[in-house]
Structure formats: structure tokens, C-alpha cells
Structure 1
Amino acid sequence: MELYFAEEDASVEFYSSRNELEALNSIILLTDKSLSSCQHSHTNMLQGLRQTILDLISDFGDQNNLKGVLEKYHSCEKEEHLIKWGKSHGAKTQLKIAYVEGAGRGMIAEKDLKVGDIALEIPVSIIISEELVLETDMYRVLKEVDGISSETILLLWSMKEKYNCDSKFKCYFDTLPEKFNTGLSFGIEAITMLDGTLLFEEIMQARQHLHAQYDELFPALCNGFPDIFPPELWRAEDMFDPCCWLS
């Protein structure tokens, strides 16, 4: 608390804009929790504290506002179709998808949003989750695999579902990048440059974990259930990208 109510001449260095906003937001969450259970005599004080934090967030946004330049030559037809599909299933959004110069594809507000406004609401019915897999032939096979996690089951389902032309989520899969530029997709040269860093260790551990999972399941599943697990869809490196779109 002292950090945010220090005197004006106090010199405080913040690690990043994101950390600053997350810290302020954590105070808002704690204040809301206190308001839901506080005595009436404390209500005005907590409401005043909440408004002060909201003002700090607004001021911080004004001071750190970056004007992005939109790349108008990029087509967002598939993305707009995805938003239209989401709205038809109950999603609500005050955002639109755009390509920003120097940043790539992202989302921008359609209008000015105040602190506390809800930018995006997604109903549970269109969230890719484990429940989707429960009634599939794939699940009836995978549930018999000893020690397999729900995350791995969902990963395998999405790898196949992406190629299902009749999938409920086809418009979502169509908007995914052809390749995710993450540590999992780094080439040998790029990974070698990270040798000795914590990131190098994390990438190698993640790769080893995925390869170990793959070796436990394939080619056994392809050999035993070729209709459910067509061999051409299942390569170890193909597991890297679904880890990104499901995260």
C-alpha cells in the first residue's frame, strides 16, 4: 500500500507496465472482496480506496498510452467470421481483431473502455475443454491409457479436430497461425544461442516432456486404432503448436 500512496516526490522504479497494472488490479480484487463482507461502517472507506485505485489505473494508462499504427493491407476476413460466429453463440465483445505495425495480429478496442468495463465475454459452450472429448471415439480409447492426463487427451483431440471440415470450431482453427514462433519451434541454431540460460533449460525440458509423451502413445495408437489415429496426422513436432493454441 505504501508504494501506491507515497508522497509525490518519492522515487519508485517499476519493473514493467504490466507488473504495475497487475499490482493495482490485485488491490482492486482485495478491496472488492472486503466490500462483499465488510461492516457498514467500513463501506465508505473501502469504496473511497477502490475509487483511488481506479483513478491510479486511469492515470497510468494516460501516461503510458502507445498509439499503434494499423496495417490496413492485412485481411481480417477469417477473424471477422470467427467473431461473428462467437456472437451467434452468445459471445460479447467490445474488441476487434487488427494487425498492428511492429506487433502483428492482436485485438484493439472498438471504443474507449473505462477501468472495470468488460472487454470480452465467452460462454462456456464455445470454450474448448475436456468435456468436448468425453463422447468421442478417441476418448473411449484414451481413457484406457494408464496415467494419461486430461491435458494430453485434449491436446490429441485438437490435433485431429483441426482437420475436421465439419468441426464446430472450424472457423477458430482456420484463424490460427500456420506456425507459432515460440521456444518450442526454435531451430538448433537459435536454441544453441540460449545455452546456459534458464530459458534454454525450460525449452529443453518442455521438448523432452512432449517427446516422451509422444513415444508413450505412438505408433501404438496408430497401429491399434488407425481409423481414430491416422498415422499421417501424428508426428512428435506436430504436438508443439497445439500446446500454444490451448494455452
Structure 2
Amino acid sequence: MDIKFDLPDPSKRSLLAAVGVEARSPYTPLRIHACGQNVTLLMLVARVHCLSKIESYFLESPQELQSPLNLRNEAAAVSLLLSYLPGPGQEEGCEEVRQALRQHCEGLWPSFVHGDASMQADSVRYPADDSPAADFQRWAADVGIQSNIRIAKFGALRGCAAGRDIEPGENLLSIPAAALIYEDTVRKTDVGRMLSAIPDLAVDNLLILFTMIDRHDPDSAWARYWASLPAAFHTGLSFPPTLVHRLAGTAGALELTRAQGHLKRQYDATRPLLAMLLAAYPALLSPAWFEFGQYTWAAELWYSYAFEIEYGRLSEAGMLNFPAFRPCKEGEQVFISYGPVPNLKLLCYYGFVIADNPHDVVPLTLELPAEEDAALHARRTAVWERLGLATEHNLSAARLSPQLLAALRVAVATAEELAGMETGDDPGRAPLNPENEAQALRTLDVALAQLLDPLEACPLLAGSPRAANSLESRQGVAMAGAGGQDASGVDMEDATGAQDSAPGLGNEVHAAGSVGPGPTTAITPELDENGMDDGWVASSAACRQYVLGQQAILRCAQRECLARLRAAVAGV
């Protein structure tokens, strides 16, 4: 059989063309025969198909896709191929592909583990029969959810364990559409019909209002699901002002303030509607259900638990299937991928962060020079737009983006250099010349220092040693760079990133409860099954880890920037 890949994105077709795979039309699927000898080609195309925007942004060469790009992309590529294969034993060539993917996953999976002993089956503990979690599992079976996973505890935290040995491509979970809470199922309920009568009610508000009301209905079809949910989610949307203030000077403080303000304005705009509902149904509704805290709880539920279903994802039987991409032994912990999500989004909408998150980024905004004559500015803007360059960029711990470097080269280009770009020079492929490259990198170095300085003054890092690469110590970089020396006096190649020595979130919170640097009196907060506490100790630790991650990314960017600057200055 042939596997058909839909590739409507022209940039992805261009990437494939660069490695010798022609996907000629966005309307004609790329067809590749499923057999053992084509596994390498199938994986290449699947990697491109599953490439995220941020992964494309940092891609230096299409040749990188000939081998695994990162664990997320590789897992998504394997999952995609498995979803195309028929059941075991139906096609001989497909069995060769399936076996090759299985072997690939077995080699790939240890990279995910990182020595996490909590994955081992002998550490798993299952909920008591009279617990809300156990009742939720019984409800799931009652409504037709087919599950090969079980709610379980690994250490102090809740997760899921494989209910039996699972092969790649087998479904871990199959959910009938009728059991899902979404617009169609909500509008079929009594509460949904009541809310649907309200003119111009947005779908988002429909779902939030439905949640606020239906969770209190003992006769609801989802009553046992509601009962299994935590009393508080502890996401960034409900962080107290004191905690947000401790993030002062970071993009996190700005994003949390913006998101919380948006939620409050949305609630205030909804209050007349809530008052109308209470007046119309005083015997059915309670004012306590409609307080801002309840609105926030419902919004946090949808932001952190909801997912989008791609068109055509439901099977012919009307089931939403979640297949495994790797083999799982009974009792082993099973994970779901959140995708390439940076720590700021995780903190704001999920309440946790990941130490050494490979998808974490620091946002960086560029501005074209304002103090130049109008004609030169118009030429620079025209080149900028023709090349599709942006002012909004991202930094990662892995590398500087080719798009960022191209934008910097254009931003500092002289009239003569702009003339070359107008006639074909591509600043995205390579440096234009040593002088332009040095000026672009000096500009970036100053911008990095301006981002790093407030981070190192962040209240969450109070008491931490201040690095010698702060803005005050780096202001001479442009002049010192011309002489081939680093004005900071620090060998950036030997500088240690913050995350290398920082304890992980689990150690900070669950072992000692300490969220500050240095020796402290141990505080052991009472954690819920999600590792959160009402004293915001775990959340404070997550915020600190977020800041450390931002700091580490900026230091990595500085090291690369200065290494490139030395090379450029040497060529002047």
C-alpha cells in the first residue's frame, strides 16, 4: 500500500525539495510505498509533515531533517506513520514498517526517561475503590470509553499506567464523541438549550457558563467527571498578585498580568448575563456558582484540559482514538505530549514548567533604525518586506535563528550593502561581510544584555550570585569587540548556564519545599495529586524555574553571539 501525505504548506514542500523529495502540488498528496526499504524516506517526510512553526524557525538546513530533529518531532513523526498503517497482519510491507518503527522507538525511548525511577511498574499505586478517581474510571467505562490505561500514582503525583502490554499503534484510549464535552454535546443538554437561547453568546463563554452550572447538577451526564476534578488548578491565571510581582522584569510578569486582566474583563462583561440568568432561574441557580473564582476555575479547566480535534480525526465508529507510538509494558507510566510548548505558556495556562525545556524560548523584538534619511529607511523596509523578515523573534538555548541573524544584518546594513541585497544577496544564507556581521552581532549583544539585566534583578532570584555579563559590565562590547577582546572580562565559553546547577522543580518543592537560593528552613507544603498547594509554594518554585530557564537561554545566546563576534572581528 501507499502512504499519502497531504502537504499544503509551501515551505514544507520546499524543505522536501531541498533534500530531493518532490511534492509538486499542494492539492495532490505525496505518495510513498510502505515497505521496509522506504522507512528512512517515510520518516524524513513524516518529520517535515510534523514540523512546528518554532522548529522551522530555528532550522539551519533542510539536511538536519535526515536524522531526528528532536524528541517531540520524532515521536510525532512515528505516531503519524503508525496512524496510516492498517491493522497487524493485513499488509506484509506494512509489517516491515511497523517492526522498523518499533525498533526505532525502543532506541528512542531511553532518551525520554532521564533516569526517572517513577516510570517503573513496581512503584505504581492505584486509587482506592471508593476514591473519586476510581469512580471516574467506572463512569468512563459506563459511557463507552475504551481504556488501556489506568489512573495511578508514581511517587507523590498522579499519572497514568498502561493497563496491559501495548504495542506501537495500539489505542491507549478510545472516546465516543457523545462522551466529549464540546459545543454539539452541550447544546443538546437542558442547560445548553437554555444558554443557546441567549443572543450572540460566543462559544467560549457558552462552554464556560455551562461548566459553571453543570458541575453542580447531580443528575448531569458528566457529574462523576466533575467530581473527579481538583478543587483548584493553580495555573498562572489564578496566581496571587504577590507572586506575579515577584516575576517583575520578566516577560512572564507581563503575560500573566495581561492574561489575568483579560479574564477579569471577560468576566465583568459577562456579569449582566449572569444576573439575568439568576433572575430567570432563581430556584435552579445559585449566586455562589457565578462568583469570579468559579469563572476562573472553569476558564482554567478549559485552558488546561481542552484540546482541538482535527477534521477527520474521529473514526468511522465515531470514536476519538489515542494510539501509542512506543511499546509500553503493563504498569509503566504513560505520557501525553503537550507539543512544543515554551515554559511561559505552561506556567500561565497549566501552572507548571519543565526544567531544561528544549522548546523554551525568550521573546526578542527588533526595531529598524529610526534615525536615518527617509530614502534609506524606505529601501531598508522594502528589503525587509521582500525577504519576509519579522520584528518579533525568539531565542533558544540551542542556537541563534537564521531568521534573527538575517533580520539583524538588514537592520544594520549600509546603503551599499542594501544595494547588494536588492540585487540578490541573501542575508539569511551567510554573512554579507565581516563588517556588517560584526555590527549585527554587537547590536544583538546589547539587546541580550538589556534582556538579561532585569532577569538577574528579579525578586525570585534575590540572593543569587549576579553574573558578570550584566548590562553594566557589557556596555563596552562594541568597542572592545573591534580589538578582538571581550569587554566583560568573562570567558563566555566557560560560563555555566543557570539551569546546569539549579535544582529541578521536583527537588526544590517535594524534597525541601524551598524556593529560594541558599540554605533555608525546610517547608513541606501539603501538595495535592497534581503537586500543587494552596500556599503557592510549588507555584513559586515553578516561577523561579521559569526565570532560571530564561536566564540560561540568554546566556547561551550570549555565548554564541560573542563567539560569532570574535570570528567576524578576526575577518575584518
TM-score normalised to structure 2 length: 0.36
Unmatched tracts of structure 2, length 5 or more: 1-43, 45-62, 87-91, 307-572
- What is the match of residue 100 of structure 1? 154
**Structure 1 counterpart of 2:107, one-letter code:** D
- Match in the other structure for 2:175: 122
1:162-173 counterparts in 2 under 5 A?
A: 162-173=215-226
* Correspondence for 2:261: 208
The corresponding residue for 1:9 is none
Structure 1 vs Structure 2 CA RMSD: 3.2
C-alpha contact 2:178 2:185 (8 A) present in aligned 1: no
Describe the shift of the 1:22–1:182 C-alpha distance in structure 2 as closer, same or farther (beyond 3 A): same
CA distance in 1, matches of 2:179, 2:252: 33
TM-superposed CA distance for 1:123, in Å, is: 0.7
Give the secondary-structure state (helix, strand or coil) at the position aligned to 1:201. Answer: helix
Rounded Cα–Cα distance in structure 2 between residues aligned with 1:49 and 1:232? 57
Alpha-carbon separation, structure 1, partners of 2:191 and 2:218? 17
Deviates more, 1:194-203 or 1:138-147: 138-147
Q: Is the 8 A contact 2:83 2:169 kept in 1?
A: no
Residue in 1 aligned with 2:295?
239
Of 218, 230, 246, 2:271 maps to: 218
Q: 1:50 to 1:240 in 2, by over 3 A?
A: same
Question: 1:73–1:120: structure 2 CA closer, same or farther, 3 Å change rule?
Answer: closer
5+ residue gaps, structure 1, are: 7-11, 37-42
Does 1:24 find its partner at 2:72? no
Provide the residue aligned with 1:151 in structure 2: 204
Q: Give the equivalent residue in structure 1 for 2:143.
A: 89
* 2:252 is equivalent to residue 199 of structure 1: yes
Measured at CA, do residues 53 and 193 of structure 1 come closer, stay the same or move farther in structure 2, by a change above 3 Å? farther
Tell me if structure 1 keeps the 8 A contact 2:82–2:168.
no
Q: Deviations over 1:48-96 (max 9, x none)?
A: 5664343222222245443317475964622121111111221111111
Q: Deviations over 1:32-54 (max 9, x none)?
A: 66x79xxxxxx95x875664343
Q: For 2:182, give the aligned amino acid.
A: S
Distance 2:145 2:153 in 1: 22
The number of residue pairs the alignment matches comes to 228
Q: Distance in 1 between matches of 2:75 and 2:127?
A: 35
- 3-state secondary structure, aligned to 2:171: coil
Q: Percent identity?
A: 23
SS of 2:161's equivalent in the other structure is strand
Q: Kindly provide the amino acid, as one letter, of the partner of residue 225 in structure 1.
A: A
CA distances 1:106-160 after superposition (whole Å, capped 9, x unpaired): 1111223222221111111111111233245655564465653212101111111
CA shift for structure 1 position 201: 2.8
1:166-200 per-position Cα deviation (integer Å, ceiling 9, x unaligned): 11111111110111121112112221122333333
**Structure-1 residue corresponding to 2:236:** 183
Distance across 2 between alignment mates of 1:132 and 1:32? 27
How many angstroms apart in 1 are the aligned matches of 2:182 and 2:247? 34
Task: Sort the Cα spacing of 1:225 and 1:217 in 2 relative to 1 into closer, same or farther, 3 A.
Answer: farther
Label 1:187 to 1:71 Cα distance change in 2 as closer, same or farther (>3 A).
farther
Cα 1:109/1:221, change in 2 over 3 Å: same
Structure 2 counterpart SS, 1:181: coil
One-letter amino acid of the structure 1 residue matched with residue 144 of structure 2: G
Between the aligned partners of 2:184 and 2:100, the Cα distance in structure 1 is 42
Cα separation, 2, equivalents of 1:60 and 1:24:
9
In structure 2, what residue type is equivalent to 1:52?
Answer: A
Task: Give the letter aligned to residue 20 of structure 1.
Answer: L
Instruction: Give runs of aligned pairs for residues 134-149 of structure 1, distance below 5 A.
Output: 134-135=187-188, 138-139=191-192, 142-143=195-196, 147-149=200-202
Alignment correspondent of 1:40 = none
- What is the identity, as a one-letter code, of the residue corresponding to 1:56? H
Shift of 1:28: 4.8
Counterparts of 1:176 and 1:83, CA distance in 2: 13
CA–CA separation in structure 2 for the residues paired with 1:4 and 1:115: 23
Rounded to whole Å, the distance in 2 between the matches of 1:99 and 1:24 is 24
Deviation of residue 30 (structure 1)? 5.7
Q: Is the 8 A contact 1:222 1:230 kept in 2?
A: no
Change (3 A) 1:139 1:62: closer
96, 102, 106: which one pairs with 1:54? 102
CA deviations on 1:15-34 (whole Å, 9 max, x unpaired) are: xxxx504433225526866x
Cα 1:84–1:20, aligned 2, differ >3 Å: closer, same or farther? Answer: same
Q: Quick one: which amino acid aligns to residue 222 of structure 1? A: A
Aligned counterpart in structure 2 of residue 67 of structure 1, from 117, 138, 141: 117
Q: Alpha carbons of 1:140 and 1:28: their partners in 2 closer, same or farther (altered >3 Å)?
A: closer
- CA change 1:131–1:208 in 2 (3 A) is same
Q: Retained in 2: the 8 A contact 1:90–1:123?
A: yes
Note closer, same or farther for the CA distance 1:118–1:162 as it changes in structure 2 (3 Å cut). Answer: same
The structure whose Rg is larger is: 2
- Within 2, Cα distance between the matches of 1:185 and 1:141? 29
- Distance in structure 1 (CA, Å) of the matches to 2:104 and 2:65: 8
Conserved? CA contact 1:222–1:229, under 8 Å: no
